[in-house]
Amino acid sequence: MSYRYTVQNHTYSFPDLKTLLAKASPYRSGDVLAGLAALTYEERVAAQLCLADVPLQAFLNEAIIPYEHDEVTRLIIDTHHSEKFKIISHFTTGELRDWILQEEVDSLVLQNLALGLTPEMVAAVSKLMRNQDLIAVAKKCEVITRFRNTLGLKGRLATRLQPNHPTDDPKGIAASVLDGLMYGSGDAVIGINPATDRPADAIKLLEMLDYLRDQFAIPTQTCVLCHVTTALAIMAQQAPVDLVFQSVGGTEKTNQSFGINLSMLQEAYEAALALNRGSLGTNVMYFETGQGSALSANAHGGVDQQTCEARAYAVARHFKPLLVNSVVGFIGPEYLYNGKQITRAALEDHFCAKLLGLPMGVDVCYTNHADVDQDDMDNLLTLLGVAGCNFIMGVPGADDIMLHYQSTSFHDALYARKVLNLRPAPEFEQWMQNQGLMNDKGQLLRVNKGHPLLQNAF
């Protein structure tokens, strides 16, 4: 089906929904690189106006990647909840935008609607929204998950303690873990990006983290971010795997480039559930995503990078994850050129994922060759905190010495919690107080050399 819109006596034509979505997307370098971006500002506005008039039903009738050729499309269509969709089935994209901004459409309404939405619908509506709109709606979406603590509650901001080391040295990692815990980091997960993907090394790191967590009864979960096939192998050896990690994309070909498919994720999900290691809940998956991954794998199929990203959330949602993380600035300037593009993409990712019912966190980050600096990241961190982001990263000094990119430090998380009156996950907060690391006002306490964590951790 083709789409047309006339602006000042000039009629813009868009041959299909896929093209219309791409042309309506805010400007970013990845879509330009792919040849999908609007050629002029006027064409982009025409596409947005045209997209606003598209009935939501059209997204169910016109697959942007054919059903027969892509298992992510099949997942989206086959799991769409028609009953929950009924409440908005008569809306156009523009009417959906206006409706979700209304005061009476609260967290409960949006939670009930989530399974009635497809990624293409939420991607489309995000293209019609200014940053303020993306923040306002995302803030209403409370998405709560549990494993050994409770994440996503309103008024809370969790952190992933990321103690990476360039050679996976256990002493270096342990020092970073203790440092982070002292700063109240690690309630989302204590998660290591390993330098290698060898099963024996993954088990070694997992056993070290599990020993520390168990010794001090820390109400959190640990993860070594190895490939899902490695996780399957070490779970078969009864390694202490709390969460299974995997990067996922929004097309079947993107996932093939990661060496995965939906069946493999299902096998890992069931294996993690069978370990039964959670004390409060059964959310056992941790996914990472990011705009541009489909383009970098030459697997976007003519779909713009933001819509591809939203389709990745359909993959994540199917496995009821504890955490989903958009590594928004990690992919580099070829896809998100500067601070403005990274900020916009992060707010879109957070909004789309929350609207689909996902526990979304964002790695507020950039690579050193992007046109961005720490002031841009401070702004983005604050915006995401206002928007109710579930979690951010806690990296020693904000400089990841294994992955070589800039993220948020333990101190950055403290800043966000303080200025926005946010607190850690409740179980973790209580543990901090019991350990003498935090008072009941959420203020960190000074720790001397005799603290049990420093004396007895390893």
Nearest CA among 432, 456, 455 for reference residue 444: 432
Nearest CA among 324, 319, 313 for reference residue 360: 324
Question: Total structural domains in the chain?
Answer: 2
Shared domain for 130 and 56, answered yes or no, is yes
Q: What is the pLDDT of residue 449?
A: 86
Measured between alpha carbons, how far is 455 from 451 in angstroms, rounded to an integer?
6
Within a domain: 397:
yes
409 marked among binding-site residues: no
pTM (2 d.p.): 0.97
Q: What is the pLDDT of residue 81?
A: 97
Q: What is the CATH number of the domain that holds 310?
A: 3.20.20.70
DSSP secondary structure letter of residue 5: E
| 302-322: average pLDDT | 98
Measured between alpha carbons, how far is 290 from 198 in angstroms, rounded to an integer?
25
Confidence class of residue 321 from pLDDT cuts 50, 70 and 90?
A: very high
Confidence class of residue 92 from pLDDT cuts 50, 70 and 90?
A: very high
* DSSP-assigned states of every residue in 16-78: SHHHHHHHHSPP-HHHHHTT-S-SSHHHHHHHHHHHHTSBTHHHHHS-SS-GGG-HHHHHHHH
Range of the domain at 270: 145-444
Q: What is the pLDDT of residue 1?
A: 81
Boundary residue ending a domain (140, 172, 195): 140
Measured between alpha carbons, how far is 223 from 379 in angstroms, rounded to an integer?
29
Three-point CA angle 182, 187, 190, nearest 5°:
80
193 marked among binding-site residues: yes
Strand-pair category, 145-146 with 150-151: antiparallel
Shared domain for 224 and 366, answered yes or no, is yes
Within a domain: 452:
no
Q: What digits encode the pLDDT tens for the residues 100-133?
A: 999 999 999 999 999 999 999 999 999 999 999 9
133 marked among binding-site residues: no
Within a domain: 76:
yes
325 marked among binding-site residues: no
Within a domain: 114:
yes
The answer on pLDDT for 457 being more than 80 is no
| 164-178: average pLDDT | 93
| 286-303: average pLDDT | 96
Shared domain for 113 and 178, answered yes or no, is no
Q: What digits encode the pLDDT tens for the residues 127-159?
A: 999 999 999 999 999 999 999 999 999 999 999
Q: What is the pLDDT of residue 28?
A: 96
The answer on pLDDT for 437 being more than 80 is yes
Within a domain: 56:
yes
Boundary residue ending a domain (85, 116, 140): 140
Shared domain for 329 and 421, answered yes or no, is yes
Radius of gyration, alpha carbons of the chain: 22
Measured between alpha carbons, how far is 151 from 389 in angstroms, rounded to an integer?
11
Shared domain for 256 and 356, answered yes or no, is yes
267 marked among binding-site residues: no
Measured between alpha carbons, how far is 136 from 387 in angstroms, rounded to an integer?
7
Amino acid at 264: M
Shared domain for 125 and 154, answered yes or no, is no
Within a domain: 456:
no
DSSP secondary structure letter of residue 371: B
Nearest CA among 214, 215, 232, 161 for reference residue 192: 161
Please answer whether residues 392 and 116 qualify as being in contact, where contact means their C-beta atoms are separated by less than 8 angstroms.
no
| 54-62: average pLDDT | 97
Within a domain: 347:
yes
Shared domain for 117 and 161, answered yes or no, is no
Measured between alpha carbons, how far is 319 from 356 in angstroms, rounded to an integer?
13
| 392-420: average pLDDT | 94
If 0-12 CB within 10 Å is exposed, 13-18 middle and 19+ buried, where does residue 132 land?
exposed
Shared domain for 52 and 183, answered yes or no, is no
160 marked among binding-site residues: yes
Shared domain for 50 and 173, answered yes or no, is no
Shared domain for 284 and 261, answered yes or no, is yes
Token code pair at residue 187: 């309630």
Q: What residues are paired with 5 via a beta bridge?
A: 12
Q: What digits encode the pLDDT tens for the residues 332-371?
A: 999 999 999 999 999 999 999 999 999 999 999 999 999 9
Boundary residue ending a domain (87, 117, 140): 140
Q: What is the pLDDT of residue 456?
A: 79
Within a domain: 243:
yes
Q: What digits encode the pLDDT tens for the residues 199-247?
A: 999 999 999 999 999 999 999 999 999 999 999 999 999 999 999 999 9
Q: What is the CATH number of the domain that holds 100?
A: 1.10.220.70
Shared domain for 98 and 60, answered yes or no, is yes
Mean pLDDT of the chain: 96
161 marked among binding-site residues: yes
Shared domain for 170 and 273, answered yes or no, is yes
402 marked among binding-site residues: yes
Please answer whether residues 405 and 365 qualify as being in contact, where contact means their C-beta atoms are separated by less than 8 angstroms.
yes
Q: Which residue has the tokens 């342990």?
A: 174
| 422-438: average pLDDT | 97
3-class secondary structure, 393: strand
